[in-house]
């Protein structure tokens, strides 16, 4: 024995160094054999997941998406201030009046951020009384075109909230809770190339989604208009006080021009309803649902069940160290 080892030292060293590597090698034929032996278990697990995915997909309510395409309204009222800045900018700076604007504020982007803000959402929900449609809608009755509410959350007959929730939440949802739901169903996007804005709302009722988009466009135009009018009125009051305090004719000329521009801003806002956004394509009640993708849910459920079934069979085999050929 010792003589044979001395004659073949390389063979002995190879066997001594790599016994673990030989044991850890994975035989693909063995894997396929294990999978084939466990095929009925894999089929059973896959069937369970498939049935579960089908039931889950069927129980999901249809969600409809309504959207409107908007274009930023032109800002003609800004031309007068630019002309004043080029003509009287130096003199106005001596008087402490800035005609250079506010650093190029994008009114469209500002309107989008206001539209997605908590304050706007809270005012919108309370103004149009849509809290029940937002928080308690269960499904849509197509035949009668009405929203069916979850009886565990909202009592339609008494118009009261009956939710069973833990503090600090109350049966009636707060505006903070409502905003979290509202921001999930509201989608506002702006095309970087064309600057066109799309406002979309998802809801169980296509007609509710359409109505909300229409209201959103109207309300954001109104809110931005009221902001600019209020700012112009405050500016006019300030400028009139400055006119009364100065005796320099040139400075008074500039201040009168500024008051005139503020008056133009107010007039421009009052005569135009589509103040920030012009509607290119109004919202419609969609005929087809946007989600759920029931076929995709079923396919993904089947694939997940198949993969888990294969993994379970392989893990069970290598944990038990079953010899090939046993069932």
34 — pLDDT class (breaks 50, 70, 90): confident
Work out the mean pLDDT of the chain and round it to a whole number. 82
Is residue 183 scored above 90 in pLDDT?
yes
Which whole number is the average pLDDT over 303-325? 80
> Of the candidates 50, 83, 14, 33, which has an alpha carbon nearest to the alpha carbon of residue 307?
50
**Do the Cβ atoms of 220 and 111 come closer than 8 Å?**
yes
- DSSP H stretches of helix in 60-194: 79-94, 107-115, 118-128, 131-135, 175-185
How do residues 66-119 score in pLDDT, each as one tens digit?
A: 999 999 986 544 444 455 555 554 545 544 445 544 444 578 899 999 999 999
Per DSSP bridges, beta strands 137-141 and 64-72 are unpaired
59 vs 104, residue with greater confidence? 59
């Amino acid at each position: 024995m010792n003589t044979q080892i001395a004659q073949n030292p390389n063979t002995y060293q190879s066997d001594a160094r790599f016994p673990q590597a030989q044991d850890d090698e994975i035989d693909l034929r063995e894997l396929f054999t294990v999978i084939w032996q466990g095929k009925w278990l894999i089929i059973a697990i896959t069937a369970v997941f498939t049935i579960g995915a089908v039931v889950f997909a069927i129980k999901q309510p249809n969600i409809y998406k309504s959207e409107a395409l908007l274009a930023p309204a032109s800002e003609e009222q800004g031309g007068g201030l630019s002309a004043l800045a080029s003509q009287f900018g130096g003199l106005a700076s001596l008087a402490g009046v800035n005609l250079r604007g506010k650093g190029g504020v994008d009114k469209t982007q500002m309107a989008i951020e206001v539209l997605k803000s908590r304050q706007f959402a809270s005012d919108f929900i309370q103004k149009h009384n849509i809290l029940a449609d937002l928080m308690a809608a269960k499904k849509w009755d197509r035949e009668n075109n009405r929203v069916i509410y979850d009886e565990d959350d909202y009592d339609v007959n008494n118009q009261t909230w009956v939710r069973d929730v833990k503090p600090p939440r109350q049966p009636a949802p707060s505006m903070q809770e409502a905003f979290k739901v509202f921001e999930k169903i509201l989608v506002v996007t702006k095309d970087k190339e064309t600057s066109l804005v799309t406002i979309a709302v998802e809801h169980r009722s296509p007609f509710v989604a359409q109505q909300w988009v229409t209201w959103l466009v109207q309300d954001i135009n109104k809110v931005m208009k009221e902001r600019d009018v209020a700012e112009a009125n405050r500016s006019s009051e300030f400028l009139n006080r400055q006119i009364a305090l100065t005796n320099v004719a040139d400075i008074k000329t500039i201040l009168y021009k500024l008051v005139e521009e503020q008056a133009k801003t107010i007039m421009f806002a009052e005569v135009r309803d589509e103040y920030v956004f012009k509607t290119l394509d109004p919202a419609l009640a969609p005929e087809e649902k946007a989600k759920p993708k029931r076929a995709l849910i079923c396919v993904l459920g089947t694939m997940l069940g198949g993969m888990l079934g294969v993994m379970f069979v392989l893990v069970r085999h290598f944990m038990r160290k079953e010899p090939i050929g046993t069932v």
